[in-house]
Amino acid sequence: MSGASAFSSCATSFYGLKEPDASGNLVDFKTFEGKFGGQEFNDGEKVLDFAKGKGFVGTVMSVGDVVGPDARESWKLFYEKTGAAEPTWNFKGKWLVSKTGEIMEAGSDVEGDIEKLLME
């Protein structure tokens, strides 16, 4: 996936982020939707159907909690490393990960934050 595609999707929505994992498999963060007030999918098959319907090719992660005691370890790490509170709404809680693995909470200029990280 080109940096431009990841940049475009991430700049508008965390759930649009699609990044390769260490093995080169594409990870789709769309599957983290569903845990904010019942507005999103809560079934993995529905997520897969949605992703396929949009033409997505890559790894789709399973549905899981992003807040509370059952939150995924990745989300807990985001909170721990940044000191950020758990998001209370699905448009809150944006984190960026640098090429070196540093986690930062995105500021009000997400596009600018991403551009800075891409220049590292």
Q: Both tokens of residue 48?
A: 């897969």
- For residues 72-98, one letter each, b for 16 or more C-beta atoms within 10 angstroms of the residue's C-beta and e for the rest, the string is beebeebbeeeebeebeebeebbbbbe
Rounded Cα–Cα distance for residues 105 and 39 (Å): 23
Q: What is the pLDDT of residue 31?
A: 61
Kindly report the pTM of this predicted structure.
0.54
Q: What is the pLDDT of residue 13?
A: 54
Asked if pLDDT for residue 1 goes beyond 70, the answer is: no
Q: What are phi and psi of 117, to 5 degrees?
A: -65, -35
User: Pick the residue with more confidence: 3 or 97?
Assistant: 97
List pLDDT tens digits, range 5-38: 333 333 345 566 666 666 667 777 766 555 555 5
List pLDDT tens digits, range 91-119: 677 888 888 888 888 888 888 998 888 88
